[in-house]
Amino acid sequence: MTGYTIPDDAIVEERFLAASGPGGQNVNKVATAVQLRVDVFRLGLPPYAYARLKELAGSRMTSGGELVLTARRFRTQEANRSDARERLADLVAKAHQRDARRVKTKPSRAAKARRVDAKKSRSAVKAGRGKVRLD
């Protein structure tokens, strides 16, 4: 799905953090997790893609228009770095995909007549269940 390349000037900051979770001393000593901050406005997205990216990113998008991605899946900085960039490219590529346009359909005249006839027949059945009147 990755068909979009991220321009280098769009990446505002790339910070290496100490990863959380199991891993013993390696986790405590080495900063292998990567936090990527990307300026969404520098990506040059069309309005529909920007709106969809905002929707897909959710809480990862800041109010200042920065997208914050954290990658800590791997044990090395380089692997996490490439993972973060790949996830960013996937996110932007997914934002470019448009949903199929919905075509409104209208019931035919015959379908409307069938529906009304069915309602009338049910109405007659239910009306027949009422109290018997002796006129």
Report the mean per-residue pLDDT for the chain: 82
- CA gap 80, 87 in Å, rounded: 10
| pLDDT surpassing 80 at residue 7 | no
User: In the prediction, which pLDDT does 91 show?
Assistant: 87
pLDDT band at residue 3, thresholds of 50, 70 and 90?
low
- What is the percent of the chain with per-residue pLDDT over 70, rounded to a whole number? 85
| pLDDT surpassing 90 at residue 21 | no
Q: How many CB atoms lie within 10 A of CB 108?
A: 9
CATH 3.40.50.1010 correct for 8-96: no
